[in-house]
Chain A
Amino acid sequence: MKRVIWKRACFAVQGRSHLSDQTPCQDSVATAYRRNVNVIALSDGAGSASLSHFGSKECAQTLCNVLCRRFDEIWRMNNIDAKLSVTQELCRQVEDKAHDLNSITTDLAATALAVGVKRNRYIAIHLGDGAIGIELTNSDSTTELKTLSSPDNGEHSNETYFITSNRAAEHVRIYTGTLDEQRPAVITGFILMSDGPEAALYRKADNQLAPACLKLLKSSRELNRRDMQTGLRATLELIANTKTFDDCSIALLSHTGESKRTQKRKRSKCQRQS
């Protein structure tokens, strides 16, 4: 009996500008499942930072570790303490990596986006540009998208905040909630995107996510792991070839239904109540 109730998928592709100047892809993605926590994470290295591809990898991995290891602790913290604590841990890891590389921390500048789900609760973390979206399934089984966290740029297009920025903790956003907080609708999926696919999947004018996000989440439920990776890669290449010159990355976390064990437990509870 399979007990998989969340599926994770992620991919990153190099953008046209980095292909032409032979710069490595500076976006990194990671997923994890430990201690009953499902995590997806994504990080976009700063264009001007020479080792930001290492920085983004470190950030994405650390976000997975933090959310798996400290989910309940962060959940209980007040928002300001949680921001400080998460930022400190990310900074510490990036500093250590910079030290290993005989470099300075700002060379590893990168953004941070992550979502962790444990049973009925979620924590989302966002610093910088890119966006976090949620899929809501209504009681009639229709689905809709909502932007949970919109891109945090400065006034100008080529400005944003990185984990190595001064006062990064002030710009970190941490969201905590339950999957049924928008009852009768239930959160059944999360999507993270860097600023590359943001050009095609997010509209700033009305803070909306493109219908493509629903298709990606649906595919992530229906396809096996290998086909999903192939499809996600092709999707990101389509966007990278037509909509942006930047690197493109996406991470998806989709609810695939309750496990048989949970369904059985619920049935028993109903029977007892009746």
Chain B
Amino acid sequence: MNELALVEMEDLFENPTPRVPVALCLDCSGSMMGEPIRELNEGVKTFYQAINDDEIARFSAEICIVTFGPASLEADFATLDTRPQPPVLTASGNTPMGEAVQLALDSLEERKAAYRASGVDYYQPWLVLMTDGKPNGNNFVLQQQITRVADMVERKKLTVFPIGIGSDADMNVLAKFSPGRSPLRLQGLKFSDFFSWLSKSVSRVSQSTPGDKVTLDVDGIRGWAEL
């Protein structure tokens, strides 16, 4: 049928795929040493692999990884066709959660400015915040970032997934980052199940069109979260 088309492929524009920016803000403090950090690395690898296997998400999901402590930008926003491998994360230091969220959101703002400058469309960005403890960085920065995130969530400028790891995770602080959606606690060290669920959710967003309501796979959450 296409040989009857009135135009050639070269008459058409090659527009960039709309992006789904996903910031992973991950606690890699000393308490994550041993099995937790190994499982977290496996989980992040699963996430990259699943996104890479998805025809659309591979070109639309842009992943950024910020770890704490200390707060460090391990990988800036990029699609997996340009950066297919995740960084190897190591555990050390304290839990400066506020500083890490600040770094993640500042990177996100820079990325959004770059999208706008080059005419690239983007979906509502996601922030995944995972911790196994209590934040112990600068309290002023923490409060500032809680307000910043909550405000973005209220204005529908950001979707937040706060996840607690183990019984020592401060679920109250995580809740403050997420008005409207309660934080969830990971079942044991099921990082891979969580990241597998996350990749499917990112895939759904990347295929949505104007007016689509992207609903999360609630049943899938039972596979990794304590409900």
Interface residues of A (CB under 8 A from B): 17, 44-49, 52, 109, 128-129, 153, 155-160, 162, 195, 199-206, 208, 210-212, 215-216, 219, 230-235, 237-239, 241-243, 245-246
Contact = CB atoms under 8 A, between A and B. Distances in A.
Given A205-B119, A215-B11, A158 B2 contact: no
B23 to A, nearest CB: 16
Given A205-B118, A205-B119, A158 B12 contact: no
Contacts of B121: 153, 156-157, 204
Contact of A195 (B118, B205, B210): B210
B123 A156 contact: yes
Contacts of B210: 44, 46-47, 128-129, 153, 157-160, 195
Given A203-B13, A210-B13, A211-B11, A48 B4 contact: no
Nearest to B116: A155
A158 B211 CA distance: 6
A202 B123 contact: no
Interface of B: 1-9, 11-13, 15, 18, 56, 118-124, 157, 205, 207-214
B213 to A, nearest CB: 4
A238 B5 contact: yes
A198 to B, nearest CB: 8
A242 B7 CA distance: 13
28 contacts: A17-B209, A46-B211, A49-B211, A153-B121, A153-B210, A156-B123, A157-B122, A157-B208, A157-B210, A158-B205, A158-B208, A158-B211, A158-B212, A158-B214, A160-B211, A195-B210, A204-B119, A208-B13, A212-B12, A215-B11, A216-B7, A230-B4, A232-B6, A233-B1, A234-B1, A238-B5, A238-B7, A246-B209
Given A157-B123, A200-B15, A237 B214 contact: no
Contacts of B212: 46-48, 158
Nearest to A16: B207
A47 B11 contact: no
Nearest to A241: B2
B124 A210 contact: no
B211 A216 contact: no
A213 to B, nearest CB: 9
Contact of A210 (B4, B11, B18): B11
B141 to A, nearest CB: 26
A237 B1 contact: yes
Nearest to B119: A205
Contacts, number: 114
Contacts of B211: 45-49, 52, 109, 158, 160, 162
A205 B4 CA distance: 30
Contacts of A153: 121, 210
Nearest to A17: B207
Given A47-B209, A208-B13, A231-B4, 12 more contacts: A45-B211, A47-B211, A52-B211, A156-B121, A158-B208, A158-B211, A215-B11, A231-B6, A232-B6, A233-B1, A234-B4, A237-B5
Contacts of B118: 205
Nearest to A159: B210
Contacts of B2: 234, 237-238, 241
Contacts of A44: 210
A210 B7 CA distance: 11
A233 B7 CA distance: 11
Nearest to A109: B211
A159 B121 CA distance: 11
A241 B1 CA distance: 11
Q: Find the residue from A160, A231, A234 having the highest chain B CB count within 10 A.
A: A234
Contact of A201 (B8, B13, B213): B13
Q: Find the residue from B13, B18, B209 having the highest chain A CB count within 10 A.
A: B209
A232 B4 CA distance: 9
Contacts of A158: 123, 205, 208-212, 214
A45 B210 CA distance: 9
A195 B121 CA distance: 12
What are the nearest 9 A-B pairs in CB distance? A46-B211, A205-B119, A212-B11, A234-B4, A47-B212, A204-B119, A160-B210, A212-B7, A157-B18
